[in-house]
Amino acid sequence: MSSDASHRGSFFHVDSGPRPCNFRRGRLQYRQAEASGAVRSRAGGPEAARKRGTMKKIAFYGKGGIGKSTTASNVSAALSLMGKRVCQIGCDPKNDSTRLLLGHICRETVLDKVRTSEPEDIRPEDIVHTGWNGITCVEAGGPEPGVGCAGRGIIVALQLLDRMKALPEADLTLYDVLGDVVCGGFAMPIREGYATDIYIVSSGELMSLYAANNIAKGVRRFAARGKVRLAGLIGNSRNTPGEKELLLEFAEMLHTQLIAFIPRDRIVNLAENNRQTVLQYAPESPQADVYRRLAEAIWENTSLTVPTPVTFDELEALVMKYGTEN
């Protein structure tokens, strides 16, 4: 089977070895960085995380545009208000995971710095930023548009952070990861043990459920060789018919829980337009309470399972059961 075929065949493709992206300085720059010790061919994710003192290591996956980063930022904000030391790491080339926490698009990502500096010149303060209420914010970044591999960029970024010991100690580290591409690079937080508790953000729409089911397949694969587990679904409502009931049944099919169902509320859009989380923009709103309850549930959650993905026919039947109601 060709490499392209194997990528199409599963959500997560485990590379046989590192294949660096064609960034501005190309492969030569990465090889120089690897030779100098700035990055390694394989990251010691779990051990490095333990040394950093991380108590909880979670990741949010989900279809692009489902509201994953908005949910992640509001959860981080709520956890910080609980007195937790929180670190949010955006693993998406769009570079927008931490926008609501920083109040702007991150001005220097890890890969921005890799492209413009020699490895030995990169300092932790160049790539680790402080957001609202003291939340640590990092954006992995991606290659220039049309050049290179974004998944490989995630690998380079996380390995560099690990090697530099750039992250401060945290009670919870949240990896916000693009989840609808068939690329092993985006599996890095799972494959190398950076995150052990995986949350899937989904609506009741078919393609969102399809992406969620593919992510569950990846979690199941890596659960066989490590501690990674599915911690639950987070329903982010699109106001489709019977949406909450559909997600409850889908969670049961996957052998997991619907840990929260987030209603659609205009206050979320208003907060985003003002580059703030709901916790900052409207802390007394009912929507802020929704995020507070989700943060508390995540902090207390010990219900971790190996998922049982379903077939596409079963997904279609599920949507037909609930999605055709008037």
Active site amino acids: 63, 68, 94, 180
- Measure the CA–CA gap between 287 and 45, rounded to whole angstroms: 35
- Among 109, 76, 116, 74, CA closest to 93: 109
Sign of torsion over alpha carbons 138, 144, 145, 147: negative
- Measure the CA–CA gap between 151 and 187, rounded to whole angstroms: 8
**DSSP code per residue over 195-208:** --EEEEEE-SSHHH
- Measure the CA–CA gap between 157 and 185, rounded to whole angstroms: 11
3-state DSSP: the chain helix, strand, coil percent, rounded to 5?
Answer: 45, 15, 40
Do 78 and 292 form a contact (C-beta atoms < 8 A)? yes
Here the tokens at position 170 are 């945290």
Q: What is the 3-state secondary structure (H, E, C) of 14-45?
A: CCCCCCCCCCCCHHHHHHHHHHHCCCCCCCCH
Do 63 and 212 form a contact (C-beta atoms < 8 A)? yes
- At residue 319, the 3 state secondary structure works out as helix
Q: Which helix (H) or strand (E) holds 268?
A: helix 266-273
Cα dihedral 42/229/298/96 (nearest 10): 40
The DSSP 8-state label assigned to residue 285 in this structure reads S
**DSSP code per residue over 140-198:** ---PSTTSS-HHHHHHHHHHHHHHHT-SPP-SEEEEEE--SS--GGGGHHHHTTS--EE
